[in-house]
Amino acid sequence: MNSKSHQPTRALANFAAHFDPARLPDEVRRKLGWLLLDHLRVCSIGARLPWSAWARDYAGVVAKAGVSHVLYSPDTLNPQHATFLNVTFGSSFDADDTHVGAMLHPGIAAWSAALATAEHVGTTGPDVLAAVVAGYEVAIRVGLSVQPGHFQRGFQSTGTCDVFGTAAATGRLLFGGEGEKILAAIGLAGSYASGVAQFYYSGASGKRIQAAHAAQSGVAAALLTQHGFAGPVDMIEGSGGFARAYADGFNPAIIADGLGSEFLLMDVLVKSHAAAARVAAGIDAMLTLRQEFGFSGDDIVSMRLGIPKVIEGRLTNPHPVDLQAAQMCLPFSVALASHFPLMAGRMPTLAVADYEKGLGDRRLFEIEDRTTIALDDEVEAASNALSTAAKVSVRLRDGRELTKFVPTPKGSAGDPFTGAEHEARFVQELSSRVSDKVCTEIIAMSKDLDRLDPRWLGQVLSGKR
């Protein structure tokens, strides 16, 4: 794994230090604007959920005050703990953006760390944008370089790789073009990579703060570097480094190839449902079948799910033990979609509340018992680093046998939301918190990210303006 021809840790640090956001292609800027709107949308939803209150109570014990806004709150904290809370809001219910191939949620960490640190140092505009790009690209590339062995070993890469992204994002804002200091921060962050995936099997609420812990640890690594600490310069590729310790295989070329010219954040999926990204196609397949043929879960005699190898086991175990496990469970999610109320003219979206209610519905467990799950060649061929396909077949009580193959779920690179859809989803959620005027101003800012002002954003979302 340790190759003299590759220095990926240094390559990432140099990218974070020297990347000029003026070089961003228009399509990347447009995608980042949509990702900002989605970030604020999911944080708004998550801030109302019970585990966000737990996180606030925890922050009340450990967090020092500062100038970085806790979203949708008058509170301001130091950048590390503001990041922790804002990531908890956005990541805790599995609706935040996802890179399927890297198997992680990069955006919630990149945006939260960059916005909080920018307020801490008083930065706006292009510098913030550069930090966000660094956060996305570093986390995604490290994740891709160690998959799929990383996942197969039992790690969840949001917990293990987002720490590198937020160290890079925070480092860019603290140190500017000082690549050696950013390198020291990324190296230090590697000591804090942590994210085992037992929750796939046993459930539990710990997964709801796994991204938050990783993100705040990257911010902490950069702050510690600012005060004199440093990590190994070869933390990722070294003989005792991250890749060797956390994966069975490592491809360092993935980290450096196209870095600064090819933006892997373009492959990030924006979710329709509060569920694991790799089960979304199955949900979409069931909802589409019902819209086309007019039936409900009560009409299903049996169901068959065609899946790719990558999700077998962790995402296919029926009868989830709790809410977190339910959101990670393909058969339960598809059964839930079979009973979800459909409304004409509205895009059906499974929310946390639907999963919570579904856990008490014995009809869903009965459908799971009548479900077979099998590897499918067509689904396998369509699944890739951008999205995971699914095939859903049902036999109904009236004798009909129906099948729907979904190669790419809604929100993925193969079937993306339009700009109008992103804006509508944003306004639908944020209009419950702020005025139409503020919604319009934030949308305008998302279309011109050189005007990105984290302090103004924190203030208007807290009601201070």
Q: Which residue has the tokens 């729907």?
A: 404
Q: Read off the pLDDT band of 202 (50, 70, 90).
A: confident
Q: Using CA of residue 147, residue 148, residue 152, residue 153, what is the dihedral sign? A: negative
Tell me the C-alpha distance between 77 and 81, whole Å.
Answer: 6
| CATH code, domain with 125 | 1.10.4100.10
Helix (H) / strand (E) containing 375 = strand 371-375
Would you state the pLDDT for residue 346?
A: 78
Q: Domain boundary residue among 218, 245, 267? A: 267
For the chain, count helices (H), then strands (E): 22, 6
**pLDDT tier, 185 (very low <50, low <70, confident <90, very high otherwise):** very high
Q: Domain ends where: 217, 244, 267?
A: 267
Cβ atoms within 10 Å of 153's Cβ, excluding its own: 14
More confident residue, 197 or 35: 35
Q: What is the rounded distance in angstroms from the CA atom of residue 122 to the CA atom of residue 140?
A: 27
Looking at the structure, tell me whether residues 204 and 353 fall in a common domain: no
Question: How confident is the prediction for the chain on average, in pLDDT?
Answer: 95
Clarify whether residues 325 and 217 are in a common domain.
no
Q: Is residue 453 part of a domain?
A: no
Length of the chain: 465
Q: What token pair was written down for 453?
A: 């002002």
| pLDDT tens per residue across span 330-386 | 999 999 999 999 988 778 999 999 999 999 999 999 999 999 999 999 999 999 989
- Which amino acid, one-letter code, is at 53? A
Quickly state the pLDDT bin for 128 (edges 50, 70, 90): very high
Instruction: Assign 2 a pLDDT band (cuts: 50, 70, 90).
Output: very low
> Does one domain contain both 170 and 313?
no
Confidence (pTM): 0.94
Q: Are both 298 and 258 inside the same structural domain? A: no
DSSP notation for 368-397: HHTEEEEE-HHHHHH--SS---EEEEEEET
Tell me if residue 395 falls in helix, strand or coil.
strand
Q: Let me know if residue 359 belongs to a domain.
A: yes
Q: Are 109 and 131 in contact (CB under 8 A)?
A: no
pLDDT value, residue 465 = 67
Judgement on whether residues 154 and 136 belong to the same structural domain of the protein: yes
Please say whether the beta carbons of 82 and 212 come within 8 A: no
In a domain, 196, yes or no: yes
The total number of structural domains that make up the chain: 2
In 3D, which of 433, 406, 444 has the Cα closest to residue 36?
A: 444
Q: Which residue has the tokens 């005027």?
A: 437
Question: Do 134 and 47 have their domain in common?
Answer: yes
Q: Are residues 180 and 303 in the same domain?
A: no
Residue 318 and residue 358 in one domain: yes
Last residue of a domain, one of 406, 421, 451: 406
- Give yes or no: residues 301 and 180 share one domain: no
Position 413 in a domain: no
Does the structure show a pLDDT above 80 at 174? Answer: yes
Q: Look at strands 371-375 and 300-307 and give their pairing.
A: parallel
* 46 domain residue, yes or no: yes
Q: Indicate whether 250 and 311 sit together in one domain.
A: no
In three-state form (DSSP H/G/I as H, E/B as E, the rest C), the secondary structure along 121-152 is: HCCCCHHHHHHHHHHHHHHHHHHHHHCCHHHH
d(CA 110, CA 90): 12
CA distance 53 to 150: 32
Q: Considering the domain boundaries, does residue 428 fall inside one?
A: no
Residues 331 and 362 placed together within one structural domain of the fold: yes
CATH of the domain at 356: 3.30.1330.120
Which of the four pLDDT bands, split at 50, 70 and 90, describes residue 3? Answer: very low
> Are residues 74 and 182 both part of a single domain?
yes
- Structural domain range at position 390: 277-406
Q: Is 424 a domain residue?
A: no
Residue 284 has pLDDT above 70, yes or no: yes
Give the single-character DSSP code of 343.
-
Q: Please count the other Cβ atoms lying within 10 Å of the Cβ belonging to residue 417.
A: 20
User: Taking Cα atoms as reference points, which of 347, 351, 213 lies closest to residue 275?
Assistant: 351
pLDDT of residue 343: 87
Does residue 419 surpass a pLDDT of 70? yes
Residue 314: inside a domain, yes or no? yes
For 85-106, the pLDDT digits (tens) are 999 999 989 999 999 999 999 9
Q: What is the DSSP letter of 312?
A: T
The letter for the amino acid at 145 is S
